[in-house]
Chains A and B, each alone.
Chain A
Amino acid sequence: MEDAIVAGNLRKRFKTHESLRGKKVFLASLRRRSFYKQALDDVSFSVPRGQIVALLGKNGSGKSTLTKIMTGILFPDSGEIRVLGLNPWKDRIRLAMEIGVVLGAHGQLFWNLPASDAFEYNRRIYEVPDSTYQKRLSYFVDRLELGDVYKRQVRQMSLGEQMKCNFVSSCLHMPKIVFLDEPTIGVDLPSKLALRETISEMQRRFGTTFILTTHIVEDIAIAERVIMLDKGKKIFDDTKENLEKLFGDKRYITLKFDGRAPSKVKMGKVLEREANVLKLEVPHRAIKSRAMMDLLDSKRVMDYSVSEVDLSHILSKLYRKLDRRDRTGGRYAT
């Protein structure tokens, strides 16, 4: 079976302006400079069917542009893109029957009507038979714990409830691919967890492919693969585990001392120090070293725990490296 998405050498740029500074308000706003921003620069990848891919990057890295090109909202300046074997721009109508899109900032619910009306609207547009619709609605209401929420007016819902309803609205026709653009921004924790669980289940049960654009680290937890963009370029495309290994070959070790924690230790980097607790970052291989064993065996150490470096830390390190590269004009090296 062909891949869900095949992208080759995608490029897209936008024309934008900046005002030149000046003392007088009127004159300053008259003078401005046009320039092009390269939103996507030679991006290539393919996504097999049934995969959950997290599309990561800082603000302005090109994630949303890429999503909009894959869904046919925008088209690239050059390069090739096939989604389910179709050209998203030229075959937009055919493709739209097979995809679902949740755009975080722009919902598709009717503000003054219950979400159920938007569901019914989509049912009619996508010509979903009533019996099928009822089963699917029941499934989503149950999984996302919507209860009677979807029968309320949208303007009376919290952001999390709106997002869940947006998700349902986009999936009622059981699309083969679902694009989620920042779906959990501003959403409460229970709603986020419910969304993530539903995504995982849809992938397992229906083989749905998900492309999840985010910069929320916890959203990546359900993804099998991470594609990372920076300034329009693809800088990483591999599994989540390899991302952790690439930048996260470290471990955290937290030590609780009898009495005051020592001011110096021979290994690792001190991350936190409280009265009798020390948190260190050490290389992974150092965990089983003689020096570490000696430290842990020490009578002064009453308790200890070892944990992996979390993804948020990995990403923040990566972003700091990218920022340093930008400031020094150097190349990024992994």
Chain B
Amino acid sequence: MQLDTGRYIAHLRVTQKALYAYKVDMSLSVLFTVLGFAVMIAVWTAIYAATGSTQIKGLSLPAIYAYFIVIGGLNFIVGTNIDDQMMNSINDGSIGTAMLKPIRYPVQLVLGTIADSFSLFSVPALLFFIAALAIAHAGLGLWQAAAFLAEVVMAFCIINLFGFLVGLAAIYLTNVYGLVSIVFSVISILGGMVAPLTFYPQWAQNILYLSPLPSMFYFPASTFLGTISTAMIWQSIAVGFVWILILLGIAAVGWKKMSIKVALAGG
């Protein structure tokens, strides 16, 4: 079977070009996202200073800095706008046209997200990761790098699957921004974006580690910095993998039902 990559690459390039059209705007957006994490660093510096201790729950101040810097880098590359794209295309009917292209619609969405995340933001993300390692005085062994890469890919998959499922809801809800906002707020609080999950009460940690939420930010960041054990890394990969399968299954069923509904509506 010959794989025609030409049209996929063409789709990737045109998405890339559209993003570069607003360079200053995108650059400023990146700047303020970066500054947002600088705020977290200032806050935790003040917290550690007030505590009068060099460590909180086994994490030193440089480790906390590094943690939030890695979160910042991850934020660049594991984000999604699939929900937004789907909602807009369902509402304006362009999903019908998109489904006629010789590229499956979910693949178009993923390619767009890859263009967005990996081509535009991979450089700032890489800089963030390097800075985090320097600040934490940490090295990155081969096993750790491989595990981190696996976690990043899983995080990308899980977040985009969430985005896809929320996007599917647009066929019934028309406007899903509210739902999107709730879902991604939950992810930011319970996924480790505002504080490492080790800072949460033990009972909360026990529940969260069984969910897909820590796989998006907490586990990749902690794996990168070496602040969780090897056993925990394996557990996180296993749990993440299971959740990807579950979410893929739900997405597949949901997509099948939705594409019939779109076809029936004449989209």
Contact = CB atoms under 8 A, between A and B. Distances in A.
- Taking the complex as a whole, does A directly touch B, i.e. does some CB pair lie under 8 Å apart? yes
Interface of A: 25-26, 29-30
Nearest to B21: A29
Given A25-B20, A30-B23, 8 more contacts: A25-B13, A25-B16, A25-B17, A26-B20, A29-B17, A29-B20, A29-B21, A29-B23
Main secondary structure of the interface of A (DSSP, over half): helix
10 contacts: A25-B13, A25-B16, A25-B17, A25-B20, A26-B20, A29-B17, A29-B20, A29-B21, A29-B23, A30-B23
A159 B21 CA distance: 31
Nearest to A19: B21
Nearest to A26: B20
Contacts of B21: 29
Contacts of B17: 25, 29
- Interface size for chain B: under 10, 10 to 19, 20 to 34, or 35 or more residues? under 10
Contacts of B20: 25-26, 29
Contacts of B16: 25
Q: Report the 6 A-B pairs with minimum CB-CB distance, sorted nearest first.
A: A29-B20, A25-B17, A25-B16, A25-B13, A26-B20, A25-B20
Interface string B1-33: 000000000000100110011010000000000
Contacts of A26: 20
B215 to A, nearest CB: 32
B267 to A, nearest CB: 16
A29 B21 CA distance: 7
A297 to B, nearest CB: 57
A229 B21 CA distance: 31
A29 B16 CA distance: 11
Contacts of A30: 23
Contacts of B13: 25
A129 to B, nearest CB: 37
A30 B17 CA distance: 11
Contacts of A29: 17, 20-21, 23
B175 to A, nearest CB: 9
A159 to B, nearest CB: 13
B50 to A, nearest CB: 45
A186 to B, nearest CB: 14
A26 B13 CA distance: 10
A25 B17 CA distance: 6
B90 to A, nearest CB: 13
A26 B21 CA distance: 10
A278 B17 CA distance: 53
A26 to B, nearest CB: 6
B87 to A, nearest CB: 15
Contacts of A25: 13, 16-17, 20
Of B13, B16, B20, B21, the most chain A CB neighbours within 10 A belong to: B20
Nearest to A27: B20
A30 B21 CA distance: 9
A29 B24 CA distance: 12
A150 B70 CA distance: 55
A110 to B, nearest CB: 14
B112 to A, nearest CB: 15
A303 B139 CA distance: 96
Interface in B17-57: 17, 20-21, 23
B201 to A, nearest CB: 43
B27 to A, nearest CB: 12
B261 to A, nearest CB: 18
Interface in B100-151: none
A86 to B, nearest CB: 37
B80 to A, nearest CB: 23
B122 to A, nearest CB: 13
A213 to B, nearest CB: 26
A195 B21 CA distance: 40
B15 to A, nearest CB: 10
A25 B119 CA distance: 12
A33 to B, nearest CB: 15
A25 B15 CA distance: 11
B121 to A, nearest CB: 14
B177 to A, nearest CB: 14
B30 to A, nearest CB: 15
A15 to B, nearest CB: 15
Nearest to B91: A155
Nearest to B20: A29
A286 B248 CA distance: 77
A87 to B, nearest CB: 34
A26 B16 CA distance: 9
B265 to A, nearest CB: 14
A241 to B, nearest CB: 43
A256 to B, nearest CB: 44
A106 to B, nearest CB: 16
A188 B213 CA distance: 51
